[in-house]
Structure 1
Amino acid sequence: MTTTESAATQAAPAATPREPVLSVRDLRVWYGTERGPIQAVDGVSFDVRPGETLGLVGESGCGKSTLGRGVLGLTPPGVALDGEVVLRSERAAGRNLVGLAPKELQKLRGPELGLIFQEPMTRLNPLMKISEHFEETLRTHEKNLTKQQIRERSLEALRGMGIPPSRYENYPHEFSGGMRQRIMIALALVLRPAFVVADEPTTALDVLVEAQIIKILADLRKNFDTALVLITHNLGIVAEACDRVAVMYAGHIVEQGDAREVFANPQHPYTKELLRSTISLSTTGLHYIPGSPPDLGDPPVGCRFHQRCPVAMRGCAENEPPEAVLASGVRSACWHQAIEVEPSLADELGKDGREPLAAVKEISVADEA
């Protein structure tokens, strides 16, 4: 995917942000099936810096969880990966995780790479006490710790999640859903990883517990300087807890930028429709996006959203859009923004390329009638 920058962006003075902990470039993940490969993640790129939270949102099946697991190398057998996932941490030292030997990658999981699962009751062993979960984790990765040091590290992590030391010897079933989720977070952080993926950590929790989990995730920046990718369907959580947001659709990131900017002034038509579909106290009617996401085993030509897009042009159905970098710093993979940034790109769509696609479809139906 090509990138076009606005003149205002090019002329802006160069900032000096901190070097990313994780840099993903052109990552692709395919699932092998009987009918051919499924392109679950297709050409995704992003950076996450120390102490930064990137929210990853989109409809079910758009590739969010596959992207998170692909970054960590936790994909099932039969999955192919390509691209770059560069981790800049003490042990990784800027290596590309894609293609890294399984034993080397395993050494990085825990101390450098963390994952917070959804549905903690299915992830915690019901036959093991919480203390045994922490002992197993720490002994696996930090073999030189004494039993007392393991206990101190574990209680410190639990205390940070608001769980008292008196619960250290309890079993998972003795905790509420919200407390189990906090234990999962503590298990991920006890090894003090540089980068963490949180895969829908508030699923099936009530709003009060959800708010507690979000506060804990927000505190990670202050206490641990952890880089975090938060995968969720809940746009409210992203607005509350994330610095930046990346919107996924059909294996692509269609828009990414500062969370406040994207929510206040969405650019990509899919982002606009997604935000229109949210429910609040002022909602008077339900809005939805007509149609359904495309089959990733046979994705459509051109922009993958063009079949559902209310502002699609004829050229959108034939040409994949370049990524436009706007003056605000937001990146949008849409022909409308690309032409706004670089008007000469309109020539690539051809003579009738900017004709509304909806009008073309209406004419075709009328002709057939």
Structure 2
Amino acid sequence: MRRREFVKAGVGGAALAAAAGGTAQAEEGRAPADTGADSVPRVLEEAAPAGRGTVRPGIGVDYVAVEPESGGAAEVRFATGEGLTPWRPVRVEGGRDDKPATAALAAAPRGCTGYEVRCEGGVARSTALNVTDGPRVRIGGRRTGGLRTDMGAAGAQDLAYLTRAGWGADESLRFDDSGEEVWPTAYYPVQTITVHHTATELSGDYAADVRGIYHYHAVTQNWGDIGYHLLIDPDGRVYEGRYSGGDGLPVFAEPPSPGSAESVTAGHVYLMNSGNIGICVMGDFTGAMPTDAAVDSLVTVLRLLCERTGVPPNSEVEYVNPVNGESSVQMGVTRHRDWMATECPGDTFAAAFDEAVRPRLEGGYA
């Protein structure tokens, strides 16, 4: 789908600071809010015809989106100056309530000159993404915000986050040629919170990684936006995800309070998204744990969200999707794999979740 060639200025804002009863500010004294304009590279993409053999895109390759023809398992390997990398699996996971994921994303190594794809059932479609070399897109709006707990002066914590403008969201990707939103916002009472991983390696430029995921969800998958509400990088930095309105408040349309909090519907657990907040820890945790900084930020974000929405983190809730009627009994805070057959958020992290995260969701912050 072609997208309109305009950029709608991001609003971002002091978000959950106001939602949590704190001061609406952006890490005052440490990371002051910047409402000036900046620019980021527009993401380039180049689709490859179905078939075997090495694909040599005419653009640099930062990521490859692989769409298995049969929907089965797929693998990708990359060509570099030192030869071909080992085959690595890619996993098709997640989706909007009305659109399942059909492709998986793999990060290319530095110096990548091409790639190969193989999958069960034959050929696969693939798309190369370049997040570094495209023409510059001007991004305006507040770049940072502060998440604040509501535990009183002694226990309160602030957690800085990057707004959509802060990580460089090209808001034009959310609109079609007629100027209509591809994925209009809708809000439903919060029932549960789900933890994910990106299942990809990271480049070190984490904002660029978020832009790649955004383009992959919004354009390559044709969802119209990124599927996660919030993302967390290895340094513990939090990123605003799914667009939730122009009021500068991520996740919610208005300040939440227990029993009445409504979150914007995102796309992270297929069929089970409305009223389900999705938090994604960036990286692949199949064979490794997230960094301590990422886990600490995840705990703080989960505690904050549970505190402000009334979701009981370690008690069962009966989730019912208010849009399609799909239901499931889950803990208030869940892992993606608790909902369906998936490895997300990675075998190693998933195995450690009950020990590394869940006990810290009750009582004070660590």
TM-score (ref. length: structure 1): 0.25
Larger radius of gyration: 1
Greater fraction of residues in strand: 2
